A and B are shown apart, each in its own frame.
Chain A
Amino acid sequence: MKILVCIKQVPDMESRFKVNGSGVWYEETDLAFRMNEYDEYAVEQAVQLKEQSGNTPDVTVLSIGPGRVVEVLKKALAMGCDRAVHIQDDEYYLKDSWQVASIISAYAKDKNFDMVFTGMQSQDRGSAQVGATVAEILGFSCATTLVSFAYGDNVITAKRELEGGLKSVIKLRLPAVVTCQLGLNTPRYPTLPNIMKAKKKEMLSHPVADFLKEGAHSVTEKFYPPAKKGGGILLEGDVNDMADRLVGILKEKTAVVR
């Protein structure tokens, strides 16, 4: 069995975002980057499937982006993926989700993958499109937003998460794309021996031009912070002063503190 996992490197969402020179994305300097949270579940599920299948499946992890994304590829290798593919693209933010999916599909097309794992969404762009679009281009079956995954006899049995805590149970045949939701599993921390082992694993690199065959369907015209709604009271400074003030505010504005 051959498995592909797609991961994106994204900034820590606690960062302060500044607009870059293009006006359509964030300035990368000063940002700390990490693996897209949803993709950690994708990597973990792929590695668990490999382990449960007598280690025979072969797991490739792929990421499109500038040089920095090698860091998350290394992490995925240390978590147990077999080889990494870096598709170099400094102008990744100018591609729309359709192009990202097309690039992934062009890479995957002739490699006979049986299963593709992606996150349900990226934390920075958050389009929740790439996984299902890859499935559509490759003609794979697809299920999104998985909170449970099991595989046997060429069939995936999965639970999708719906609103309000409801789940739907589905079965899908291979080849398939699945997109992973938070809580699907418990992503492992790479151990030191595995980090060392990962250094010997294959890290392939391709320019994005090798796989970019499609133009954009949409363009970002502007990237900006939302207008501040304001109205709220901002408390800053000494913890004890703030606690005193908050108690005063709660007494005045709510009926729950007297």
Chain B
Amino acid sequence: MKALLVCEYREGKLLDSSYELLAFADKLGAEKSMVLIGSEAAGPRFGGKVYLADVAKYGEYNPDVHKKIVLEAAQRENADCIVFLHSSYGWDLAPRVAAALKAAQVSEVVSVVDGKFETTCCNGKMRRMVSPKTAKTVVTIQTGAFSFMGDPQGTPHLEKLDLPDTASSLEFVGYEAAEAKDVDLTKAEVIVSAGRGIGKKDNVQTIAALAKALGGELGASRPVVDAGWVDHSHQVGTTGQTVSPKLYVACGISGAIQHLAGMKKSDFVVAINKDKDAPIGEVADVLVVADVMQFVPALTARLQK
């Protein structure tokens, strides 16, 4: 079994998450090679074959072109399994590669069991065990699910790829930086976050009051930010900030993977949720099953004493 691992490269750097692909391939028991649209200078620390296409020529993002490069590497390598991260790069590119190969695609894999792939569904509440029925398979792996132990090492054997045809109906114009943050949650010792379960904008102040009583900062899940209840600079998660406070209190937050990714390194997690089965329970040290608007004021009152 041969696995071709598709590295990610952004703003001139190889993304560290690329090494998670190696950990996955080891779990699969596969022979590994990598493909990178990047630069030799910022190549992976990996002692095997790396197919390299020059980013100066092909750009950091262009799925039409990157698809052709990955397909070329897959063909040369005769790869059985092509592996991406389940990231904005991977979920964008993987289906195109899979469709071109008429290969099964399994998304957001969290573990491998006897050659079958376990994936999450229903907002993390359930799992599916999926088996591919095609000769080749395309997989995206959940970020953080397969961690690379130790320090990656090695010098790659480079094989350069050159593509004659770079025609595309898509043009990458450039990046737009994240908005400036007026709060730096990464330094906070206590974060109390509001989720959609708080019900309405007016209730944000109840959550903020608990944050104040604990001497901490207000955080938020994405829907609360999208709805304009709380500013984006307070958002915790993959598309917000990654935090690791001593205490994290999740108020009315279900615990979607994109939220968990931003807070699961917290020392102590308290979740307040009316749903006993909410996935936030998986990372919570204490799960309080209650209506958040009843429980939070009761807790704040005790802390203020």
Q: Do A and B bind each other?
A: yes
Please tell me if B254 contacts chain A, counting CB pairs below 8 Å. Answer: yes
Please tell me if A98 contacts chain B, counting CB pairs below 8 Å. Answer: yes
Please tell me if A200 contacts chain B, counting CB pairs below 8 Å. Answer: no
Task: State in angstroms the CA–CA spacing of A44 and B121 once bound together.
Answer: 25
Give a binary string over A152-171; 1 marks a CB under 8 Å from any B CB, 0 the rest.
Answer: 00000101111111111111
Chain A residues near B287: list those with CB within 8 A.
Answer: 232-235
Task: State in angstroms the CA–CA spacing of A133 and B138 once bound together.
Answer: 13
Interface size on B, residues (CB 8 A): 93
- Which of A14, A141, A164, A254 touches B267 (beta carbons < 8 Å)? A254
Is A257 touching B172 in the complex (CB atoms < 8 A)? no
Is A256 touching B123 in the complex (CB atoms < 8 A)? no
Chain B residues near A143: list those with CB within 8 A.
Answer: 92, 170
Please tell me if A226 contacts chain B, counting CB pairs below 8 Å. Answer: yes
Chain B residues near A14: list those with CB within 8 A.
Answer: 254, 275, 278
- Which of B63, B105, B121, B246 touches A256 (beta carbons < 8 Å)? B246
Say how far A144's CB is from chain B's closest CB, in angstroms: 5
Please tell me if B201 contacts chain A, counting CB pairs below 8 Å. Answer: no
Is B105 touching A144 in the complex (CB atoms < 8 A)? no
The number of inter-chain residue pairs (CB within 8 angstroms) is 261
Chain B residue with the shortest CB-CB distance to A171: B171
Chain A, interface size: which category? Answer: 35 or more
Which of B42-50, B155-163, B292-300 forms contacts with chain A?
B292-300
- Which of A172, A182, A219 touches B170 (beta carbons < 8 Å)? A172
Please tell me if A91 contacts chain B, counting CB pairs below 8 Å. Answer: no
CB contacts under 8 Å to B, within A217-250, are: 217-226, 228-229, 231-236, 239-240, 242-244, 246-247, 249-250
Chain A residues near B92: list those with CB within 8 A.
Answer: 132, 143-145, 160
Is B61 touching A217 in the complex (CB atoms < 8 A)? no
Is B268 touching A239 in the complex (CB atoms < 8 A)? no
Task: State in angstroms the CA–CA spacing of A246 and B254 once bound together.
Answer: 20
